[in-house]
Amino acid sequence: MADSEALQLVFVGLKSALQPFGPGLQLEAANSLWCSHEWTPHSEYVAKIREHYDAEVVVLDFRGAETAARINTWVAAKTRGKIGSILSTIDPLTALLAINAIYFKDVWAEPFDRELTREELFHTSEGRTLTVPLMRRTGFYSYYEESKFQAIGLGYESGLTMYVFLPAKTSSLREFQKNLTAAAWDAWIGRFERTGGYIQLPRFQLTQSANLKAALGELGMGIAFDRRRARFDAINPPPPELWIPRFFIRPSSRSMKRARRLPQ
C-alpha cells in the first residue's frame, strides 16, 4: 500500500476515534488550507484534502491588510474563543498556510466540590513556591506508583481519562520526560489499578508554544524543511520552489505549518 493511502487510512481511523460520545463531551477538530492568490495548488490536491481530511480551502491575497484578521477569526470560531489570535502578519513570500484547530471540553465523571477548594502552597518544577487554589476529592481512582513517580487517572463523563503524573521528590519533571516513550507509556497504562485515596490538584490553565521542526526532522520529515531538496510537486510543481520554514504549535490545542516560496 502506498504511503499516502496508508496515511489516509490512519486519518480515517483517528477521525472515527475522536467522534464525540457521552453527554458532556464537546470536541471539534477543524482543518484548513489558506492559499495565496498568486499561487494555486492542483485541483486534484484540493479535492483530495477536502475529501480525506475535511479541510476548508480558502484563496486569499496574503498581502492584504485584513488577511491575518480573517484567519484569526476562523481560529477563534473553531476554538470557541479559546484561541483569539494565531497570526499578526504574513510573510509576503508565503504560498500556503495549513492550519488545524482542536476544541475539547468535557466534565468530570466525579466532579470536585468547589467548597473544598482552598488556597495552598504549590511547588513548581523550577523550584518556585506559589499560592494556588487546590481542588480536593476523596474517592476511588485508577492509580499507579513506582520509584520515580505517582500517577492517577481522572475520568470524564464521556469515558475519556486524563492522566496526571507527579514526579517523586528524588526525581524531576525533566527525568520523567526523558523516560516518556511509547513503550514506557504502554507498560505504565497496563499497571493502573483501582485504588481508594485522597487527592489535591491545583486548578490550572495550560499554554504551550513549540517549534516542531527538529522533532519532525527526527521522524523523517527533514527534507520538507530543506529549501534545496524539498519537493511538493503533488501540490504544485516548481517554479517557484517551495519548502516549510516553520512548523509550530501555539497556546492551547492547535498546530500550523507554512509553505514558503522563493521570489521569482
Asked whether the predicted pLDDT for residue 149 surpasses 50, the reply is yes
Do 27 and 157 lie in one domain? The reply is: no
Do 26 and 101 lie in one domain? The reply is: yes
Do 257 and 184 lie in one domain? The reply is: no
Do 83 and 138 lie in one domain? The reply is: no
Do 214 and 93 lie in one domain? The reply is: yes
Q: Which domain holds residue 84?
A: 3-106+207-261
Relative to beta strand 26-36, strand 55-60 is: parallel
pLDDT > 90 fraction of the chain, expressed in percent and rounded: 38
Asked whether the predicted pLDDT for residue 7 surpasses 80, the reply is no
Do 97 and 211 lie in one domain? The reply is: yes
Is residue 100 domain-resident?
Answer: yes
* Banded model confidence at residue 219, pLDDT cuts 50, 70, 90: confident
**Which of 155, 178, 202 corresponds to the end of one domain?**
202
Is residue 113 domain-resident?
Answer: no
Q: What is the CATH number of the domain that holds 212?
A: 3.30.497.10
Is residue 111 domain-resident?
Answer: no
* Total domain count, the chain: 2
Do 82 and 151 lie in one domain? The reply is: no
Asked whether the predicted pLDDT for residue 253 surpasses 50, the reply is no
Do 138 and 220 lie in one domain? The reply is: no
Do 197 and 226 lie in one domain? The reply is: no
Q: What is the CATH number of the domain that holds 154?
A: 2.30.39.10
Mean pLDDT lowest among 16-20, 56-60, 89-93, 109-113 = 16-20
- What's the whole-model pTM score? 0.76
